Amino acid sequence: MSMLRRARHKLDFFSRWGRFQLRRARNRAFQALELTSYVLTPRRPCRHLVVEHPQNNDRLVSYLSWLYGAPDETLFEGLINDGAVHLNKRRAAPGDLTRHMDFVEIKATKLPAFVLTPLERPLNVIYMDRHIAVVEKQPGDLCIPPPNRRHAPCVAGSLLSQGISSSAQIPNIHAGLAHRLDRFTGGLLVAARTPAAKDRMTRLFRQRKVRKQYLAIVGGELVAGGVIDAPISRDRKRRWAFRVSPRGHSARTEFSVHEPLSAAATELKVRIHTGRTHQIRVHMANMGHPLVGDFLYGGLCLPETRQFLLHAAQLEFEHPFTGELMSFSSTPSAAYLEDKERILRGEPLAPHPKARR
């Protein structure tokens, strides 16, 4: 009996080790792939995609319905049941869970025509050529609709409605956006106009060849800049928030004092070398100087103000096709400047009613 138990233990160990090695080799191979590519055959097109950071282990059918903007899960559930969707080289099931860097193949003659709702006001286009466009986002605007509000007005919808991007060229919910900003962060965004431009811009961001600089107003008085090099991971207690953790992804933030506003607040110039979710907000809060208005991370707020004060002010990168150095700048929104003036006038900052105790 003991020999049988030892044999089963050894078999289980090698099975786990084999799965680990396969998963590591798969991840290394996927990192070398372009995130989105299209392989078309005359009758049956096949779309290959790599899953990017699903939320809370989304089911495959939910993730695909959200990604392609389907009004419900019926269409993709039918495709999966018909065997037209494969996950990591095997036939998928509707209940399969997605993980970061999973490989998905969709073999279907027609994907759902997704509908994205544009913003009420047109986007301010800073620059546009036949490959890329640089637009200005206002605080409060969503980049893409969240899974629970699929018809919410968003920047991606405006990209399509204004003809900056095309659903025929880039048929997914991002509509060519090469990166994103938080809802209450205003400033510059880069959008690709073709699949080739999307792949090249994504590669530039992944290789950290895009210089991004922000303006941020933080609580407290700072007299000198510095560098924060602290990994970030999702907060286990608050799934919608993030925190500094030694087990997280590497994140590096460089900041300098732009303008002292008062003893209660300072305006900073912030450059991020990585692009983690909530990176500036988490690093500033971890340093003891959260953004003004950012109640999620303990920041103090001005009365009757719902947004934190963060603006994507500068972008600099080499054009993905011509190699020309492109540099763009943006002036903070009227709401940002108004709140800044209120701080300069000495209006008090107070904890938000929703702030974490």
Active site residues: 182
Pick from 69, 67, 65: nearest CA to 53: 67
Per DSSP (E only), the strands in the chain are 36-39, 46-50, 85-87, 90-91, 103-107, 124-128, 132-137, 186-192, 211-219, 226-229, 232-234, 242-244, 252-260, 265-272, 300-301, 310-318, 325-329, 350-351
φ, ψ (nearest 5 deg) of residue 6? -65, -40
Angle, in degrees to the nearest 10, between helices 60-67 and 74-81: 130
Distance (Å, rounded) from C-alpha 2 to C-alpha 202?
55
Exposure on the CB side of residue 331, measured as CA atoms within 13 A: 5
| 175 secondary structure, DSSP code | T
Q: Using DSSP bridges, classify how beta strands 325-329 and 242-244 pair: parallel, antiparallel or unpaired.
A: unpaired
Distance (Å, rounded) from C-alpha 173 to C-alpha 71?
12
Q: Are 160 and 116 within 8 A, CB to CB?
A: yes
Distance (Å, rounded) from C-alpha 151 to C-alpha 165?
18
Distance (Å, rounded) from C-alpha 186 to C-alpha 209?
21
Distance (Å, rounded) from C-alpha 11 to C-alpha 183?
50
φ, ψ (nearest 5 deg) of residue 36? -140, 125
The two tokens of residue 134 are 């640089």
Long-range contacts (CB closer than 8 Å, 24 or more residues apart) made by 277-282: 277/53, 277/232, 277/242, 278/182, 278/232, 278/241, 278/242, 279/232, 279/251, 279/253, 280/214, 280/216, 280/253, 280/310, 281/182, 281/308, 281/310, 282/232, 282/242, 282/243, 282/244, 282/251
